[in-house]
Structure 1
Amino acid sequence: MAEDDTLAFSVRTRSREASCPGCGTVSGRVHGGYRRRLADLAVSGQKVVIDLAVRRFLCPLAECTRRTFVEQVDGLTERFARRTPSLRRALERIALALAGRPGSRLAGHLSVPTSANSLLRLVRRLPDKRTGAAPRVLGVDDFALKKGHVYGTIVLDMETGERVDVLPDRTAETLAAWLRAHPGAEIVCRDRASAYAEAVRTACPDATQVADRFHLWKNLCEAVEKCVAHKCLTEPTEDTTADTAVVKAGTTVDDVPELMEGLRVIKRRERHAAVHALYDKGVQIDVIAKTLGLDRKTVRRYANASTPDDASCGTGSRRYGQVHSYSPYLYRRWNEGCTDAARLHAEIVELGYRGSKRTVRRHLQEIRGSGKPAPDKPRELTVRKATWLITAHPDKIDESNALKLKQLLARCPELDAVASRVRSFASMMAERRGSDLDDWLTSAEQTGLKPLCSLARGLRQDFDAVAAGLTLEWNSGKVEGNVNRVKRIKRDGYGRAGFDLLRRQIILSD
């Protein structure tokens, strides 16, 4: 029978007896009956409702705790359910894939309408996944529950790609407790996080820790970027030659006039001194951030840097890199007498620039601080571009960029040494020659460059895991892929993804 957009089927059972769910005794004594309405999967775009007549039976066994019971139809009914099992399973899959509101919209299009809250309740009723022993090869990584504030940890079986568990934070104590409760891990893949390293050493000291190669290469590129930022990227001119003579005339770099150092260097030194004046006394990072009016991440960067140069944050954002294409116009207008950054920003916006006034002001800050005219020819290489030339695969560098790299290394022996260490590290990583790590660290320290020495010092502290990462086949690629998948699940949650619900969606969804 069709009612508007709904197909209603009126049916009844034909059996004359049923088994008691309490004791299993078969009974044919009918106590009464009633009708149940069950929603089922749609047919030809129409909702389906089954009007089912069921009977209530008396249990003949006196010792049974149930006096009466209702007959159930296999594959069609469940206790207290208003949906068929097939519809329930379909809605569970939709809820796990799309969460509440998106799943509710899709269910409406499939003619099985339900609310977002109903879908979330279905997810919460699903049986939790219980883990006995840990997988032989384990992968761990953190993900943001609230970026910059609250983080969780995802645990993965690296051999099968199966999600094993999700932990509510990323502390060493939580992961160590999980590893003690789930013994059996022989290999643990992780990033360079010290908390995970400490947890594995504490809970399963016999396990082999493997540092991810992607993070090792990223650490090397960051060190190269710092080296490039402190070296010249343009051809030497008469002015730079004179400046070099002034530097050589003194005994230390601190004797160089502040105007030649630039405002950024001065500010970096002041912040480094202010942070360490409190940090060395045992003051917590949060307190230092509130006292100095800085972000916690900025304070942590300066606290972990032994010198002001180590605290350099590199080249900035991509938007900052876009302003270099407008350098010829900005330099020409500067030399014509227009030194107002806001006005210059408005002019290049008309030419297609999409960055901010602050970016333009920062781009011109070095020229303003030097008191000299802007160069007629802007530098050809930015820090970002020079870093890419040094760290990119040779097959990806065309002839013009190869010439720029050759000229850069020819006039800067320090960067030539950096490029040599990058090539040897890339060869060691590609050929899985972790046994050469100690020799590479020694050669990096011999360059005398602070970023490379700092990198080598950090890798020595995690030597065994780094050597294993450069030798074994395992890496954290599968874990990183699941972290990206978690971000999509969080977006679908629309703020409703509390940890319990988020954990079920991460573990149970396909």
Structure 2
Amino acid sequence: MFSGLAALVIEEVVDGGEVIRVVARSRDVPLPCPVCGVLTGKVHGYHGRTVADVPVDGRKVVVHVQVRRLVCPVLGCRRQTFREQVPGLLERLQRRTTRLTGQVSAVVKELCGRAAARLTRSLAAPVSFATALRLLRRIPVPAVRTPRVVGVDDFALRRRHRYATIIIDAETGERIDVLPDREAAGLEAWLRTHPGVEIVCRDGSATYAEAIRQALPDAVQVSDRWHLWRNLCGKVLAEVRAHAPCWATVNPTRPGGVHEQTTRERWHKVHNLLGRGVGLLECSRRLNLALNTVKRYSRIPEPSAERITPRYRPTLVDPYREHLRTRRAAEPAVTVTQLFREIKTQGYTGSHNLLVRYLTQGRAEGNRLVTTPRHATRLLLTHPEHLWTKDTALLSTLTTACPEMAELSRLVAEFAQLLTPAKGNGTRLTEWITATRAAGLPHLHSFCNGLELDRAAVNAGLTLRFHNGRTEGVNTRTKRYFAVITAWASSASALVRKTPAPLTSGPSERMTRILTT
């Protein structure tokens, strides 16, 4: 029952109800002087210590230990007498045994201050929230090891204000370190002080790329494949919007709204100025438009006819939609009043005006949904095996109506095949870039320019099995832990009578180190 107290001589065990008291003494063996290391067994006196041990049968255990004060036999030693310690059991100035401290520290590490204090009371080893915080601060920070493959990513401590950099082992997913910012200097300094890194997985950040290049010129940089696909998705959406006048002819006709009228007016103004030789920047100044907006209109061959999918609420007319559609198809000149009388006899309880609005909106005949640019983009970016039959048919209709959409669909499918790592993907990527530059898709041309700027890392991402997926997962968990750490920092600051740090402030160096545990 008290095997953990084997280093002591137990003389008596007293059952005190909710508390078990153990009377013990230290063994009569020589111990080394803590200064000179000479063994001694000469006793100068005795002292009593009262410490708490792990509970037994749900009851607290209190140990009354008699320890010796020994005399150092070396003349001139700085410590003439010293109190003996029991290694592995009793530490200097501690009121708990080592094993009880370890158990409480494990609880504190998971729950922090007040929550840990509440749980320890149920475990018959009560501590206050202040003691829990002190135990948390005493937990040693594990030594930072240097893995062969690391993943680097940033995360927001306070969005748009303060960020940090997380470094993990890309092979095991273990969190290695957290840097207090996302500047190139911080990552470069960390890499210089941790030699041995051979491969670094990152996103498309030019800051991280330059830091890795400066610190480890021989390391292989791997661009994350998910970020490559995400960048391509944005360019594909821009291309679909640019060619909306072509493929949008598959949508049902509808009188143009205010948005479509404004779009056409801007398109004509931009192209009139460009036709007279006015530059893009001067166009943006004359028309009071953003430069990127002028660029977007300049790339559209015809005025955009983007449509928004109508979102209607259920009405009382919906159950009679099929009857209305059949009657209007058989007799186009039938009056609304006549239709109102017919559905009234079938149980319609709505008003005449509701029926008029329903028919005016075209909801009786509107059996085709409007295809928006985002919907068309989703069809292009979804694996063909994961599309429904109706989606496959719609995609075929879109690519038939617009040659650029057919070319875009082919290029997207070829690039998707490159995302499966293989040895020959570097050569295939070169062929894909050449084919893309030959196509009339300017937004994909800019995507190719970005690939060329980071070509070595992109080739490594398409040929090696490493990626930044584990980093994103650890990143998400770190954000959750950060809320607990900031609360602990505020409590700790109040404990030492300092001004509590606000929850929105960034972590101190100590907090940043604890994030790595």
TM-score scaled to structure 1, two decimals? Answer: 0.71
The answer to whether residue 29 in structure 2 is matched with residue 33 in structure 1 is: no
User: How far apart are residue 382 of structure 1 and its match?
Assistant: 4.1
The answer to whether residue 135 in structure 2 is matched with residue 126 in structure 1 is: no
SS of equivalent residue, structure 2 residue 463 = coil
User: How far apart are residue 324 of structure 1 and its match?
Assistant: 5.8
The answer to whether the Cα contact below 8 Å between 2:112 and 2:488 also exists between their aligned partners in 1 is no
> Partner residue of 1:254?
269
Unaligned stretches of 5+ residues in structure 2:
1-13, 273-283, 299-307, 319-359, 490-506
> Partner residue of 2:101?
88
The structure with more radius of gyration = 2
> Partner residue of 1:155?
167
- Aligned equivalent of 1:419, options 409, 412, 419: 409
- The 1:431–1:6 alpha-carbon spacing in structure 2 relative to 1, beyond 3 Å, is same
The answer to whether the Cα contact below 8 Å between 1:100 and 1:493 also exists between their aligned partners in 2 is no
The answer to whether residue 460 in structure 2 is matched with residue 468 in structure 1 is: yes
The answer to whether residue 32 in structure 2 is matched with residue 47 in structure 1 is: no
SS of equivalent residue, structure 1 residue 81 = coil
Q: 1:67-101: CA deviations, max 9, x gaps?
A: 22112223210111222111222233333333334
The answer to whether the Cα contact below 8 Å between 1:272 and 1:307 also exists between their aligned partners in 2 is no
- Aligned equivalent of 2:186, options 174, 178, 181: 174
> Partner residue of 1:213?
225
Identity level (%)? 38
Q: 1:268-322: CA deviations, max 9, x gaps?
A: x79996776xxxxxxxxxxxxxxxxxxxxxxxxx7xx993579xxxxxxxxxxxx
> Partner residue of 1:307?
295
The answer to whether residue 484 in structure 2 is matched with residue 499 in structure 1 is: no
The answer to whether the Cα contact below 8 Å between 1:22 and 1:65 also exists between their aligned partners in 2 is yes
**Distance (whole Å) between structure 1 residues aligned to residue 266 and residue 169 of structure 2:** 57
- The 5-angstrom pairing of residues 56-95 of structure 1 reads 56-95=69-108
The answer to whether the Cα contact below 8 Å between 2:224 and 2:461 also exists between their aligned partners in 1 is yes
**Distance (whole Å) between structure 2 residues aligned to residue 3 and residue 482 of structure 1:** 49
The answer to whether the Cα contact below 8 Å between 2:223 and 2:457 also exists between their aligned partners in 1 is yes
The answer to whether the Cα contact below 8 Å between 2:198 and 2:220 also exists between their aligned partners in 1 is yes
- The 1:452–1:60 alpha-carbon spacing in structure 2 relative to 1, beyond 3 Å, is same
The answer to whether the Cα contact below 8 Å between 2:189 and 2:215 also exists between their aligned partners in 1 is yes
How many aligned positions are there?
414
The answer to whether residue 239 in structure 2 is matched with residue 227 in structure 1 is: yes
- The 1:445–1:328 alpha-carbon spacing in structure 2 relative to 1, beyond 3 Å, is farther
- The 1:487–1:255 alpha-carbon spacing in structure 2 relative to 1, beyond 3 Å, is closer
The answer to whether the Cα contact below 8 Å between 1:213 and 1:469 also exists between their aligned partners in 2 is yes
The 10-residue stretch of structure 1 (202-211 or 104-113) with the greater mean CA deviation from structure 2? 104-113
> Partner residue of 1:114?
127
**Distance (whole Å) between structure 2 residues aligned to residue 272 and residue 442 of structure 1:** 36
- The 1:37–1:163 alpha-carbon spacing in structure 2 relative to 1, beyond 3 Å, is same
Q: Which amino acid aligns with 1:503?
A: T
User: How far apart are residue 52 of structure 1 and its match?
Assistant: 1.8
> Partner residue of 1:326?
311
SS of equivalent residue, structure 1 residue 307 = helix
**Distance (whole Å) between structure 1 residues aligned to residue 169 and residue 209 of structure 2:** 18
The answer to whether residue 131 in structure 2 is matched with residue 139 in structure 1 is: no
> Partner residue of 1:394?
384
Unaligned stretches of 5+ residues in structure 1:
258-268, 277-301, 311-322, 334-372
SS of equivalent residue, structure 1 residue 62 = coil
SS of equivalent residue, structure 1 residue 326 = coil
> Partner residue of 1:365?
none
- The 1:181–1:18 alpha-carbon spacing in structure 2 relative to 1, beyond 3 Å, is closer
The 10-residue stretch of structure 1 (493-502 or 141-150) with the greater mean CA deviation from structure 2? 493-502
> Partner residue of 1:438?
430
RMSD: 3.7
User: How far apart are residue 396 of structure 1 and its match?
Assistant: 1.7
The answer to whether the Cα contact below 8 Å between 1:98 and 1:489 also exists between their aligned partners in 2 is no
TM-score scaled to structure 2, two decimals? Answer: 0.70
SS of equivalent residue, structure 2 residue 515 = helix
Q: Which amino acid aligns with 2:126?
A: P
